[in-house]
Amino acid sequence: MEKTLKTERIDLLQGDYEKGVQRAAQILREGGIVAIPTETVYGLAADATNDAAIAKVFAAKGRPQDNPLIVHIAGFETLYEISADLPQSAVSCAEKFWPGPFTMVVKSSGKVANSVSAGLQTVAVRMPLDNAARDIIAASGRPLAAPSANISGSPSPTSARHVINDLDGLIDAVVISQDCAVGVESTVVSFAGDLPRLLRPGAVTLEQLREIIPDIAVDTAVLSEPEKGAKAASPGMKYKHYAPKTETFLIEGDSKDFTELVNQKPDCLAVCFDEESEKIRIRKICYGSANDGKTLANKLFSVLRQVDEIPAKAVYIHAPSKNGIGLAVYNRLIRAAGFKVIVL
Ligand code: TXA
Ligand code: MG
């Protein structure tokens, strides 16, 4: 798309916070699209009841039309307006994990625009923890649909700078606030089928979910490539995603094997854990300690963006453990690698 808009900067850090919130809300009420901070990643927000505004979001991101959007709300009353037949298990999860990095897919009441759900009978709903996000939603008086504020397929944005790099000139405004505290997108659980089903792992972990809904199923797309032509439970998970332009491989194995492999590849780049850095003799980027999943998640997307600034024949990323938030990091990395996983 041609970059023809003058993207307004709404700075909540240096400017007047309340004025900034009101300005973002005004643009949203008028049908504009605004990048807003959340605790997970920056979102590209639009009024979820306005089909024309939603169409602008799909166009700016270059997003496939069959990939539905998450609706962001500031209070429980909106959940009851936009959903129907809520099961008790969904209500229990919302009470436990909201506000926070947790999204639930439930039956839609038909209140949000059809294009938000990309023709499905369900709607994905989340109440974010970030104060600015909730203040902007409340001030707009609308539920806000907000996919990650990146060009479709590229790593999700965890800072206002990432948003500007991708979308300057394509959106009406960007709200400038702190970098995202979590760094990976919300956990998505569907309550629309027989059993609750994890569609996308995030900072609300599978272990935490099992305490509330012990019968939760894990969708096969969480850990492996969806079969070609199969109907995806979560359309977003079927795409190659988060991918650097450099050819990317995900490597499973211990530190010794990983180090040996990459040291034979002088033209390549390694993305490694802090503690193995010293032994790696090729160019490298560290993304945290192997047993500190929160830091790995927090650095993941900026590291994937950094990869393309270093010319290399290929990049080899050391896979984290799949426990806790590590499952979310692993899930994003197999997509960044286009499902090219090497087990040592
Ligand atoms: O943390 C987040 O969730 C961020 C911030 C901005 O809130 N948003 C985000 O949106 O990650 P997006 O559009 O990048 O990812 C939404 C995911 C996609 O995988 C999509 O397919 C899935 O949620 N999804 C949305 N509505 C759905 C539905 N009705 N049924 C199944 N999956 C759905
Ligand atoms: Mg996204």
DSSP notation for 18-72: HHHHHHHHHHHHTT--EEE--SSS-EEEEETT-HHHHHHHHHHHT--TTS--EEE
Q: What pLDDT, on a 0 to 100 scale, did the predictor assign at position 233?
A: 74
Nearest CA owner, ligand 1 atom 15: 147
Q: How far apart are CA 136 and CA 20, in angstroms?
A: 9
Nearest CA owner, ligand 1 atom 31: 234
Atom of ligand 1 nearest to the CA of 123: 29
Q: How far apart are CA 185 and CA 117, in angstroms?
A: 18
Q: What pLDDT, on a 0 to 100 scale, did the predictor assign at position 225?
A: 84
Q: What pLDDT, on a 0 to 100 scale, did the predictor assign at position 276?
A: 97
Atom of ligand 1 nearest to the CA of 182: 1
Residues of the chain with pLDDT under 50: none
Q: What pLDDT, on a 0 to 100 scale, did the predictor assign at position 226?
A: 76
**Measuring from each residue's beta carbon to the nearest atom of ligand 1, which residues come in under 6 Å?**
38, 40-41, 43, 67-70, 101, 103, 105, 117, 120, 122-124, 126, 146-148, 185-186, 188, 199-200, 234-237
Q: What pLDDT, on a 0 to 100 scale, did the predictor assign at position 238?
A: 65
Mutate to test the pocket of ligand 1, among 148, 166, 204, 331 (most ligand atoms within 8 A of CB): 148
Q: What pLDDT, on a 0 to 100 scale, did the predictor assign at position 2?
A: 83
